């Protein structure tokens, strides 16, 4: 009897400890957001709130807008996704459905290894391999551009996405696939009409997570995208993402409005990533409810 009470007590303690951890983590996240808002305040007070978001970046003329950086971050993330999603889908389908066991296992191990490579390695390799090739092949600018960054960033976000996709595809009940086969469906039909719809929750989660990674990545864009603070109008123009802007301006004078602008960037990054997390959460719970 006594032992049981002890057990309950220790369970209560564990619950308390976990609850404290959760509340602390949540409070910290909220505090960071508030902190950024407070520090970005000089900039918002200096002009209209929206002016900061829609103006261009020309510190010498007194304009501290971050519109070019928002555009660059979005263009880079969506560009990388557009390239990485088809590749990842194909790769995951090979591993979980179509491939022979041995090559499939090899690809799976290979992808798992790729997830462990630090970003700076991708950036470094990109600076010495991708940039000169892009410069020579397309003859447009220095090769440090949106396109180079998209190429390397898509390579970086693919492995995580592939692993998510594999999990999602393997969790589709075998009975469904067999039933489709019995109805005379070929491999392509099974993939398009059975596996993809059944795995959609996992697929969407993988894509959203990859988007978050691409949007928040600093080193690849800092090393490969060129960092010119102009709104992206061509794949081959030098662009500066929100994260690279923070990295480049962090050293400026503490009291300056340049410095305040990095907190505006932080607020935007935070808001976008929070929105993605909420959408992912919402979609997932809705899809799980609808599951047959």
Partner 1 sequence: MKRKTWFLAMLCMAVCFSAGSVFAGAYDAFQGKEGTIKISGGTAHIPVMQALAKEIMTRHPGIRITVAGGGSGVGIKQVGEGLVDIGNSGRKPTDEEIAAYNLKVHQWALDGVAVVVHPQNPVKSLSLQQVQAIFAGTATNWKDVGGPDKVIHVFTRDEASGTREVFWKKALKKGPVTATADVVPSNGAMKTAVATDPAAIGYMSVGHIDASVAPVTLDGVKPSVETVRNGTYAVSRGLYSNTKGEPSPLVKAFLDTLYSPEGRAIIERQGFIPVP
Contacting positions for partner 1 (CB under 8 A): 57-60, 127-128, 131-132, 135, 141-144, 222, 226-230, 237-238, 240, 247-254, 258
Query: Is the Cβ of residue 167 or residue 258 nearer to partner 1 in the bound state?
Result: 258
User: At closest approach, how far in Å is the CB of 221 from partner 1?
Assistant: 11
User: At closest approach, how far in Å is the CB of 186 from partner 1?
Assistant: 49
User: At closest approach, how far in Å is the CB of 54 from partner 1?
Assistant: 17
Q: Give dist(CA 107, CA 88) in Å, integer.
A: 12
User: At closest approach, how far in Å is the CB of 228 from partner 1?
Assistant: 5
53 to 49, 64, 217, 261, 268: CA distances (angstroms) = 7, 9, 20, 10, 9
Please tell me the chain's helix, strand, coil percentages from 3-state DSSP, rounded to the nearest 5: 80, 0, 20
- How many other β-carbons are positioned within 10 Å of the β-carbon of residue 290? 8
Cβ within 8 Å of residue 149, ≥6 positions away: 76, 80, 126, 220, 221, 224, 225, 239
Q: Give dist(CA 146, CA 286) in Å, integer.
A: 36
Query: Is the Cβ of residue 188 or residue 254 nearer to partner 1 in the bound state?
Result: 254
User: At closest approach, how far in Å is the CB of 49 from partner 1?
Assistant: 23
Q: What are phi and psi of 226, to 5 degrees?
A: 95, -30
Query: Is the Cβ of residue 158 or residue 241 nearer to partner 1 in the bound state?
Result: 241
Query: Is the Cβ of residue 83 or residue 247 nearer to partner 1 in the bound state?
Result: 247
Query: Is the Cβ of residue 88 or residue 238 nearer to partner 1 in the bound state?
Result: 238
166 neighbors 202 (Cβ within 8 angstroms): no
């Amino acid at each position: 009897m006594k032992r049981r009470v002890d057990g309950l007590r220790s369970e209560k303690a564990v619950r308390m400890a976990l609850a404290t951890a959760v509340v602390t983590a949540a409070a910290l996240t909220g505090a960071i957001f508030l902190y950024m808002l407070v520090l970005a305040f000089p900039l918002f007070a200096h002009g209209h709130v929206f002016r900061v978001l829609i103006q261009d970046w020309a510190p010498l003329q007194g304009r501290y807008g971050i519109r070019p950086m928002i555009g660059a971050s979005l263009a880079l993330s969506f560009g990388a996704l557009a390239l990485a999603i088809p590749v990842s889908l194909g790769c995951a389908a090979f591993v979980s459905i179509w491939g022979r066991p041995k090559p499939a296992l090899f690809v799976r191990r290979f992808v798992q290894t790729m997830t462990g490579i630090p970003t700076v390695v991708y950036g470094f390799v990109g600076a010495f391999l991708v940039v000169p090739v892009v410069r020579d092949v397309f003859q447009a600018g220095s090769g440090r551009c949106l396109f180079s960054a998209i190429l390397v960033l898509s390579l970086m976000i693919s492995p995580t996405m592939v692993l998510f996709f594999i999990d999602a595809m393997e969790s589709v009940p075998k009975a469904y696939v067999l039933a489709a086969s019995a109805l005379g469906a070929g491999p392509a039909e099974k993939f398009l009409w059975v596996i993809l719809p059944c795995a959609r929750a996992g697929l969407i989660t993988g894509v959203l997570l990859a988007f978050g990674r691409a949007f928040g990545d600093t080193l690849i864009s800092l090393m490969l995208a060129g960092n010119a603070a102009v709104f992206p109008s061509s794949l081959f123009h030098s662009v500066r993402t929100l994260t690279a802007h923070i990295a480049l301006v962090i050293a400026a004078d503490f009291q300056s409005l340049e410095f305040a602008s990095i907190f505006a960037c932080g607020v935007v990054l935070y808001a976008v990533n929070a929105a993605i997390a909420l959408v992912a959460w919402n979609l997932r719970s809705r899809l799980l409810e609808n599951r047959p």
